[in-house]
Structure 1
Amino acid sequence: MKSLLKYFFVVILITPGFKSVAQRKAPVAGGNLYSAGYASAFISGLYDAWYPYKKLHQHGNFGLGAPAKLDGELMMLNGKLFKTEYTGKTVPIDDTGATPYAVVCFFYATKVFKPAGELNKAALFKFMDSVLVNQNGIYAIHVTGKFKYVKTRAFEPVQQKPYVPLAAMLNKQHFFEFRTIKGDMIGYKLPIYMDGAHITGYHFHFLSDDKTSGGHIIDVIGDDVTIEVDMLNSYTMELPPTADFKNFDFKKDRKEEIKSVENGKKQ
């Protein structure tokens, strides 16, 4: 019997196409961008959590999003979830909760860039534009290193319905400033044809090296950074099975609202 069991396990290990769970979930080049939720619907008031954190891990180890009822900002790095609260405190979170909106992928760096010198936000994005030459590409971007300055924000949690759009809640933002800090910029550059369903252009959240500071990036000055890039070749989306989403009005143009929310001020 022991010899038969030994033979059985050997066959499994050498059978072509067999992969362990860890192997199947290993990041690979040209992966998929997964979205739980629809961006313009989320920023317009769909803040109730519906998508379990546990399921996010099936679709990625890198990404960003929002906690339930807009209670701060969400970051995923190396498969671990962190939340920056409106108080400025950043904490690891377990998998028992859920999110109203998140975007994740299995990050696999295929290109690495080391721009020279100090770069403010505009210069950093201009540099990335110069190397991310596919204007219709879907890019996951991980920026690490030293930062001379980082300004982030997080929203206060909403209290009761009806929820108002984020663009009408800019006075509820809490800003945090950090100087001479090491950390990670976690984000994406998405093409214009994904507008509405996603937040197009650059979108980054920050997480400090010691995992105590973070939030949605409003401004940044990189001092000595490394830019890792993963160009994704597909995207999928799961839509909220909620009454609020079923009744959501998509006719309104929300481009200016999204810009205001991303930049933290009215455009």
Structure 2
Amino acid sequence: MQKRHITFCLLSMFVLCCNATIAQQKTKPAGTGDNLFSAGFASGFIGGLYDNWYPYRQLQKHGDFGLGAPGHLDGELLMLHGKIYQTRATGKTTLVADTGKLPYAIVCFFKAKRTFKHTGNLNKTALYALLDSLLSNQNGIYAIHIKGDFKLVKTRAFPPVEKPYLPLASMLSRQHFFEHTNLQGDLVGFRIPAYMEGAHISGYHFHFLSMDKTAGGHLIDLDAADITIEVDTLTSYTMDLPQTADFNNFDFKKDRKEEIKSVENGKKQ
């Protein structure tokens, strides 16, 4: 009888463990492993879709690392270690409460698969050339975390706007630029392949956050000193789209490649 009782207890424990595993699998969000998740369509956002629609809390189910924009174009967003930071046109950077919504963001669950260290000065052009030499798959999707010492970081943020919205490239004169010298911080970004252009912004795209979490914004230029580069290779991408009248009526036939370049670099091309 004692042996039967022990066997029954072990069997019960096994069943409970299996049920717990199944429950975890059912509650785990889809597409979280090595997946790039996008809330919104890049060319739509660039073209003027600035209304809030996607909840921060929902975004955090799809990633702990990424970048985006707040509603009404009120600055720039960065996600690092699951926390979201907003840099406004005043230059002030603050932690964002997760109760709000946003118009556009791309995130992933970041896990560094490769790490590189570099000593010596690098401007943005030289940094991108170095990254190109390290990221050999031209059609790969890469999440990139760069941390270390910076002699200079130049960033930007847009002020909030109201409807009727203009495309971002038509509002470059409204940008606010910030120059930060001799500080430590993090660059959060991605390199997106050319075949994903439109749905995403192809090429490199970085936002900055200072170590003390008081400065940030969209990266315009830099002078890096000693840095560590962490790379995560992503193998899939998923997207949620706004279910709004503005999105349904948006003209996606227009080629916005030049507009995207202008917005990315902060000046007309």
Aligned pairs for 1:59-70 within 5 A: 59-70=62-73
**Structure 1 residues 77, 6: CA separation in 2 closer, same or farther (over 3 Å shift)?**
farther
1:12 corresponds in structure 2 to 16
1:72 corresponds in structure 2 to 75
Unaligned stretches of 5+ in structure 1? none
Q: How many angstroms apart in 1 are the aligned matches of 2:62 and 2:97?
A: 17
Q: How many angstroms apart in 2 are the aligned matches of 1:225 and 1:24?
A: 34
Q: How many angstroms apart in 2 are the aligned matches of 1:207 and 1:169?
A: 24
Aligned pairs for 1:105-124 within 5 A: 105-124=108-127
2:38 corresponds in structure 1 to 35
Query: What is the CA distance between 1:162 and its match in structure 2?
Result: 1.3
Q: How many angstroms apart in 1 are the aligned matches of 2:13 and 2:173?
A: 61
Among candidates 190, 207, 211, match of residue 188 of structure 1 = 190
Give TM-score scaled by structure 2 length: 0.91
Query: What is the CA distance between 1:67 and its match in structure 2?
Result: 0.5
1:200 corresponds in structure 2 to 202
Among candidates 241, 255, 258, match of residue 256 of structure 1 = 258
Judge conservation of contact 1:12–1:18 (CA < 8 Å) in 2: no
Unaligned stretches of 5+ in structure 2? 1-5
Aligned pairs for 1:144-155 within 5 A: 144-155=147-158
Deviations 1:182-229 (A, max 9, x none): 000000000000001000000000001010100000001110000000
Alignment RMSD = 2.3
Query: What is the CA distance between 1:115 and its match in structure 2?
Result: 2.0
Corresponding letter in the other structure for 1:243: A
**Structure 1 residues 5, 72: CA separation in 2 closer, same or farther (over 3 Å shift)?**
farther
Corresponding letter in the other structure for 1:194: M
Q: How many angstroms apart in 2 are the aligned matches of 1:97 and 1:151?
A: 28
Q: Which has the larger radius of gyration?
A: 2
Deviations 1:100-138 (A, max 9, x none): 000000000000011231111111100000010000000
2:95 corresponds in structure 1 to 92
**Structure 1 residues 54, 118: CA separation in 2 closer, same or farther (over 3 Å shift)?**
same
Q: How many angstroms apart in 1 are the aligned matches of 2:85 and 2:13?
A: 39
2:249 corresponds in structure 1 to 247
Does the residue aligned with 1:114 lie in a helix, a strand or coil? strand
Judge conservation of contact 1:82–1:91 (CA < 8 Å) in 2: yes
Q: How many angstroms apart in 2 are the aligned matches of 1:143 and 1:236?
A: 24
2:238 corresponds in structure 1 to 236
Structure 1 residue runs of 4 or more that deviate by more than 3 Å after TM superposition? 3-21
